[in-house]
Structure 1
Amino acid sequence: MEINEPFAYNDQPVHNRVVFFILILILFFLSFVRISHTDVPIVADKLFLITIASSTAFLVWLLGTLFTRSVSFPRSAILYGATFVYLSQLLATVTSASRGASFWGSMFDSDNLIFSTIILLLIFLSSVVFQSLSRIAMAYLALFAGLFVLFVSQLINLFVGKNYNLLGTWYDLGVIFGLALLVSLVFIELSPKRAFYRKLGWIVFGFSSISLVFINFSLVWLIVGFGALFIALYSYWLGPGGRGRAVVSVLVVGVSVACLVFGRPNAPISRLVNKIIPTPTEIRPSWAGTYALTVSSLKKNPIFGAGPGLFSREWVKYKDVSINKTDYWSIDFSAGVGYLPSKVLTSGILGTLALLTFLILIFKQGIFLLKKLSEPTFEDAQVLATIVATFYLWIVAIFYVPNPTTLAFSAIFTGLLIATFASKELTDNLLISSSVHHKLKIVITILSVLFFLGTSAVMYEYGRNYVALWTFRDSVVYAQNGDINKAIDYAKRTLSLDTRDIYHRHASDVYLLALAKEVSSIDPNSPRARETFIKLFGDAVAEAKSAVEDDETNYLNYLALGSVYESVVTLGIEGAYEQARLAYKTAGTLNPTSPTIPFQLARLELANKNIQNAVQYLNESISLKSNYAPAYILASQIALGGGDLPTAIKTTELAVLSDPNNFTYFFQLGYLRYKNKDYRLALESFNRTLALNKDYANARYFLGLTYAKIGKITEAVFELESVLKSNPGNKEVQMILEKVKVGSTSFDI
């Protein structure tokens, strides 16, 4: 290798060497390692790995400070800026309407205080242990090796036909390979011709370029294009020595432009890629939508914001009703157009100022460091690569919502940028030692012990939370398979590990399933039925109430509570109607533009035999979303119950127009037309039902009856015999079939 500086481990404390090793492992393994390959979300795996690995590194560093009685870290404005950002997140959490959600998050997102702590720790630890160019070189080697493994795994998945990756979403892959391409480009352009890292750069350049073409993420191509242009200008004009090796960078700029032009939807590159790998679509709020939402939210919480992790609460509260016209109307977005713009809403004016300060310091320090480069050597290539990588990752965070892996890399490279200043002797380290300041001995010891205990507690709790995610998954699977007893058992195990509102809601749902199953299988008038009902209903109510108590800002918790009470309204349980109505109304104040909530209220009123109120709520639901099919279906049922068959048909037709791919709606329309003796149109509806679901026996049965009614006996016999094959021994079908075969249509159906 062309690294002149030796790996001077012996002049570093042991704990620093261990921390360095852990961070190297993070850079290598994080992009492709998963704990499991089950349906536990990848983001949960990555968050767990990042949290445990980073916390372990911090614990090692704390133990070192206890033994050495000293703390040393770079005097860096960027580090101080990162601390300012963290303090703003801490204050936003303290003032949050849901401190639990803001502190812990959901195991599926990175906008919470715990992850903000991890980001600060990674920046700090990286700045401390990477203060030599040899160690920075090892960081790039680990990153490249890990991304190569990721690339190979993607190739294997491509050949075996799996649209699956080990990193996260499809576009997350694009972001990380965009990073690899730009860093490799720096090594290619600035390293000596025979340098190891230049040769390595060509390999990385090759697989990252191929990956980006197939991923076809326009945002990454845009940023990569500008990054390559910057590298080309530096290498050709600003690069000392005037070597002018900018051919590869210029080529990347050209490829970026070509991919932006021809990679648009239905353009040549896009069509080619979709033939090989169908590209999944990621939907995010627009800049305009994020801005409007932020303005509305900050009117109520201007200084500290809504609180980390609460973007989705503000989204459902303030989103424009026009969103209901789109296909993603029911999505509760957890972030806006980008990670950092979303922070404006969740951390307020203070958090925004902190983030702006942090970003300005990064770019200011990076430009300052850039001016200090003197010649195109490997050492300068490392420095430029660190600058480019840090700039790239934080720019991506402005325009996109990166996954936790990418954010962890952003933190590490920010730490590398700070460490580079120390390695170039452009800053010194601040040393706080009890040997110099004897009075600090007790302070350092106490703080180290407190941080050690706090970090250990977080690791323990986070481990429990991760295990809870597994038991929750098992409970869901058992419930779906009808094994309610095991579903309840695993729901209890989940809550013994983690008491998030989502787990309480799930437990409430499972108890309702158990209630329905038990009551239907025993004599409803028996003492056992009464005892079972009281216990299971009480458990369902208790869990739904616990969900509300855990997070009063989440409308889903009130919907869960309302549905529990609604389920017993028809039984005449005292107070059930009032409690359900109150819960639904509260949900409506938290999510005022959702058509689902007035629809739920309409169902509740119908259960309570308040037909007029039910119709009013259905009209409200349709006014919020004119193509909300469930509202039309319920309106059809109300009309049919009142004997108004023409209105029932008309509203069902509206439901079919609103959701033309729902086979049950077409079946209901066909049934109503059949009842109205409009057999030609009924025939059309039943055929459409079977086109959407060829195995739907009810539709085939009524199709046979309809054929019989219009005199097409051969077709009727064929359809009814098909039904009998799938339902052997069905006496009703056999009886109808015998009548149809002799040309009789005297069946009262």
Structure 2
Amino acid sequence: MEKFLKEAEKYLILAGVLLFAVFTLPGFPSPYFIPKEILASVIISLALITSLTRSILKGEMKMSIGKFDIGVLLLAIVYLVASIFITPNKMEAFFYPGTTTFVLLSAIFYLIINQFTKRGKNSVLLALFTSGIILSVSVLFTELGLFAKIPQLPEFMKNSAFNPLGSDLQSMVYLFALLPLGVAQIIKEKESIKKIFFGVASSVLIFGIILLGVNMLPGKPQAPVLPNWQTSWEIVIDTLKQSPLLGAGPANYLSAFNVYRPISYNQTNLWQVRFSSANNYYFTLITEVGLIGLAALVILLIAVYKRLVVNIKDKNWEIFSVAVLVVAFAIFPVAPALIFLFMVLLSVFSGSEEKSITVATNKIPSLIVALPIFVGIIALAFFGTKAVSAEATYQKSLEALVQNDAKNTYDYMVKAGTLNPYVDRYHASLAQVEMALANSIAERKDLTEDDRNTITQLVQQAISEGKATVTLNINRSGNWEVLAQIYRSIMSFAEGSDQFAIQTYTQAVALDPLNPELRIALGGVYYALEDYDSAISAFQLAAVAKNDYPNSHYNLAAAYAAKKDYDKAIASMETVLSLISKDSEDYKTAQTVMDQLKAQKSPATEATSQNLTPPQTVQETNVEPPITLPSEATPPATP
């Protein structure tokens, strides 16, 4: 029985190592990341159950000690602690994108593989290498369009950009890191057949790397889009000024990016892009887990360097795979598969087969040690199943939305939020759906009392969902923006919503101060309320945030014109005309407005074009008398 359990554990781990990088599943908004979480969690749970059961039956529990244990454990603990005490929305850290969960799962894989013999670790290397071959073949199939010709495959696999890791850049790094494994075997193997096998297999990896590299050339659809080094560095520094020890929290880089990105970023072509990671992993790590995380990383890298020196002297060339990843982490952001690959490689080269300690010497102590782990596995299964079920239900709502099926869209979103009420995405989406339904009813010509009641109920529910979105991550500008948009959309028929809109937009701006669009939206609310001085102030700050953004100046001109300050309005329109192409429709629109201003006549509010959108007045609706918002509709307190 003990032998069977030992073999079962080994093959479970080998299956996990083989499949992790290439494992995808339909039925989730992210078919690349959540399935990998599920796979790793199931594999680890089963492996731990078999290992602990074997130890209990044997009446002895031993643990092998590796050279990287301290660094790996410290890094995992730092991520865990930062997630608990710093990250505002724990579900982002632990579920999706699940930064902390992937680090913890990878660390557990490291500890389990540490218990393998030298022969077992060689099997792990072979499984890793095989995963690279499968990944290369999938890249080739995508390039040739073969997946698209198989009707049984899910739609996401038929996409011309399909990649099991979710990114060509991540796949290229993954394959490049595995290449030393094949080259080392070519050098070491004495048998010609094995040399030929590894030579051909390595050629497959190289071919995959070349294909991915070609796809990522500038101008290609899969060319990587990354923030520049300076932007990432300034975010690191400003985050550490505010939270030096544990940073902004795992999976919370986006909030740090919004608050701390430099104004120079708005002069780049990517100014509208919001990044959830820095341009390299080390900067992301420091931003998310602070100086304590950096200290843990340094301890780990020092151990890696020492082990590299020893293995190179012993001509264990496979360890260059670890070196490739250490360098790649300094250049590129990383996906979960690369963290996993790094930890698995560390476990193989940890030297754990050289030293072990005895944890328990008979069945009772072994059971006592195992019991908390069994409880943890049961808890993981319970809460994990609910979270996965909620995500699958949310995906059904998105599919219903694409099909314009309002009822199922609404019902599935409500169910997703019920299954897992801690995900802000669910509440934000539901709030927007409820407002769309309320607005569609409000546009009817002859509203009945039932219609008014339905509108009131939908508005109150939308506000409640918007507030839940904010509460779950109060430091996320986008969440405040969702709530602000709700208040803005009901200004025409809900008393008091105008001040709520100003309050929430102001907070959204505070958390994303260099976003000109948010300032324009805030100015638009003031404009609709005919508070032109406040509108002008908001539009001026939008222009300061990005002085070459025509729409900021266009809205500023409209506010000046509404105040009948035509000289300043004309000056703003001259700026608009200087920023847009003379051959565009935008230029024609701007020129028309300029002519109206020169005639000292306020431009028509409908003078819009593709990139020029003037502030709007409050639109009249058929909801009479206006509905009264309850006290519960007030926005949450700002942090």
TM-score, normalised by the number of residues in structure 1: 0.72
Give the Cα–Cα distance (whole angstroms) in 1 for the partners of residues 592 and 25 of structure 2.
Answer: 50
Match of 1:316 in 2: 258
Match of 1:183 in 2: 181
For residue 206 of structure 1, the aligned residue among 203, 208, 212 is 203
> Could you report, residue by residue, the CA deviation over 1:296-339 in whole angstroms, capped at 9, with x for unpaired residues?
21122122222212222112111111111112223332221322
Match of 2:454 in 1: 532
8 Å CA contact 1:645, 1:672 repeated in 2? no
1:520 maps to a residue whose letter is E
8 Å CA contact 2:244, 2:291 repeated in 1? yes
SS of 1:73's equivalent in the other structure is strand
8 Å CA contact 1:488, 1:507 repeated in 2? yes
8 Å CA contact 2:103, 2:340 repeated in 1? no
Unaligned runs of 5+ residues in structure 2 are: 147-159, 600-606, 612-639
8 Å CA contact 1:636, 1:651 repeated in 2? yes
Are 2:12 and 1:22 aligned? yes
Distance 1:115 1:211, change over 3 A: closer
1:384 maps to a residue whose letter is W
Segment of structure 1 superposing worse, 291-300 or 640-649: 640-649
SS of 2:357's equivalent in the other structure is strand
Are 2:351 and 1:434 aligned? no
Distance 1:192 1:652, change over 3 A: farther
For residue 92 of structure 1, the aligned residue among 60, 82, 88 is 82
Counterparts of residues 414-429 of structure 1 (less than 5 Å): 414-418=346-350, 420-422=351-353, 427-429=354-356
Match of 2:317 in 1: 384
Are 2:403 and 1:503 aligned? no
Give the Cα–Cα distance (whole angstroms) in 1 for the partners of residues 361 and 446 of structure 2.
Answer: 77
8 Å CA contact 2:110, 2:347 repeated in 1? yes
Match of 1:126 in 2: 113
Amino-acid identity (%) = 17
> Could you report, residue by residue, the CA deviation over 1:603-652 in whole angstroms, capped at 9, with x for unpaired residues?
11122221222122111111101233443444465567678999889867
- Structure 1 residue 528: Cα displacement: 1.7
Match of 1:599 in 2: 520
Match of 2:466 in 1: 544
Match of 1:146 in 2: 131
Distance 1:652 1:142, change over 3 A: farther
Match of 2:544 in 1: 623
- Structure 1 residue 472: Cα displacement: 2.4
Give the Cα–Cα distance (whole angstroms) in 1 for the partners of residues 140 and 517 of structure 2.
Answer: 43
2:203 maps to a residue whose letter is G
Distance 1:446 1:531, change over 3 A: farther
Distance 1:158 1:657, change over 3 A: farther
8 Å CA contact 2:71, 2:300 repeated in 1? yes
Number of matched residues? 589
Give the Cα–Cα distance (whole angstroms) in 2 for the partners of residues 51 and 656 of structure 1.
Answer: 57
Distance 1:512 1:521, change over 3 A: same
SS of 2:246's equivalent in the other structure is coil
SS of 1:521's equivalent in the other structure is coil
Match of 1:167 in 2: 165
Are 2:492 and 1:570 aligned? yes
Query: Of the two, which has the highest radius of gyration?
Result: 1
Give the Cα–Cα distance (whole angstroms) in 2 for the partners of residues 656 and 479 of structure 1.
Answer: 39
1:75 maps to a residue whose letter is I
For residue 614 of structure 1, the aligned residue among 526, 531, 535 is 535
> Could you report, residue by residue, the CA deviation over 1:108-157 in whole angstroms, capped at 9, with x for unpaired residues?
3x532x222112101001111x3132x23322333333332322222222
Give the Cα–Cα distance (whole angstroms) in 2 for the partners of residues 183 and 24 of structure 1.
Answer: 16
Distance 1:148 1:89, change over 3 A: closer
Match of 1:289 in 2: 231
Are 2:436 and 1:449 aligned? no
For residue 115 of structure 1, the aligned residue among 102, 118, 122 is 102
Give the Cα–Cα distance (whole angstroms) in 2 for the partners of residues 68 and 45 of structure 1.
Answer: 34
Counterparts of residues 668-707 of structure 1 (less than 5 Å): 668-669=589-590
1:600 maps to a residue whose letter is A
Give the Cα–Cα distance (whole angstroms) in 2 for the partners of residues 459 and 331 of structure 1.
Answer: 36
For residue 33 of structure 2, the aligned residue among 40, 43, 58 is 43
Give the Cα–Cα distance (whole angstroms) in 2 for the partners of residues 661 and 493 of structure 1.
Answer: 51
Match of 2:617 in 1: none
SS of 2:33's equivalent in the other structure is helix
SS of 1:36's equivalent in the other structure is coil
8 Å CA contact 2:557, 2:573 repeated in 1? yes
- Structure 1 residue 294: Cα displacement: 1.6
SS of 1:570's equivalent in the other structure is coil
Give the Cα–Cα distance (whole angstroms) in 2 for the partners of residues 448 and 635 of structure 1.
Answer: 67
Distance 1:160 1:644, change over 3 A: farther
SS of 2:282's equivalent in the other structure is helix
- Structure 1 residue 285: Cα displacement: 3.1
Give the Cα–Cα distance (whole angstroms) in 2 for the partners of residues 127 and 503 of structure 1.
Answer: 40
Distance 1:482 1:640, change over 3 A: farther
SS of 2:143's equivalent in the other structure is helix
8 Å CA contact 1:468, 1:494 repeated in 2? yes
Give the Cα–Cα distance (whole angstroms) in 2 for the partners of residues 36 and 93 of structure 1.
Answer: 28
- Structure 1 residue 102: Cα displacement: 6.1
Match of 2:397 in 1: 475
> Could you report, residue by residue, the CA deviation over 1:683-742 in whole angstroms, capped at 9, with x for unpaired residues?
xxx9xx99x9xxxxxxxxxxxxxxxxxxxxxxxxxxxxxxxxxxxxxxxxxxxxxxxxxx
8 Å CA contact 2:532, 2:562 repeated in 1? no
- Structure 1 residue 405: Cα displacement: 1.6
Match of 1:681 in 2: none
Counterparts of residues 150-299 of structure 1 (less than 5 Å): 150-160=135-145, 162-194=160-192, 196=194, 198-216=195-213, 278=220, 280-299=222-241
8 Å CA contact 2:428, 2:482 repeated in 1? yes
Distance 1:649 1:663, change over 3 A: farther
> Could you report, residue by residue, the CA deviation over 1:319-378 in whole angstroms, capped at 9, with x for unpaired residues?
1111111122233322213223321222222221111111111221232244345xxxxx
For residue 388 of structure 2, the aligned residue among 453, 463, 466 is 466
1:115 maps to a residue whose letter is F
Distance 1:463 1:654, change over 3 A: farther
Distance 1:336 1:159, change over 3 A: same
Are 2:512 and 1:512 aligned? no
Distance 1:665 1:452, change over 3 A: farther
For residue 502 of structure 2, the aligned residue among 576, 581, 585 is 581
> Could you report, residue by residue, the CA deviation over 1:453-492 in whole angstroms, capped at 9, with x for unpaired residues?
2233224433433333333233234345543332211211
2:167 maps to a residue whose letter is T
- Structure 1 residue 79: Cα displacement: 1.4
Distance 1:673 1:596, change over 3 A: closer
8 Å CA contact 2:416, 2:426 repeated in 1? yes
Match of 1:354 in 2: 296
- Structure 1 residue 513: Cα displacement: 0.3
For residue 338 of structure 1, the aligned residue among 272, 275, 280 is 280
Distance 1:532 1:589, change over 3 A: same
> Could you report, residue by residue, the CA deviation over 1:68-126 in whole angstroms, capped at 9, with x for unpaired residues?
44332212231122112222223322331516156425x23x532x2221121010011
Match of 2:153 in 1: none
Counterparts of residues 670-749 of structure 1 (less than 5 Å): none
> Could you report, residue by residue, the CA deviation over 1:544-584 in whole angstroms, capped at 9, with x for unpaired residues?
1111111111111111111111222233x332122222212
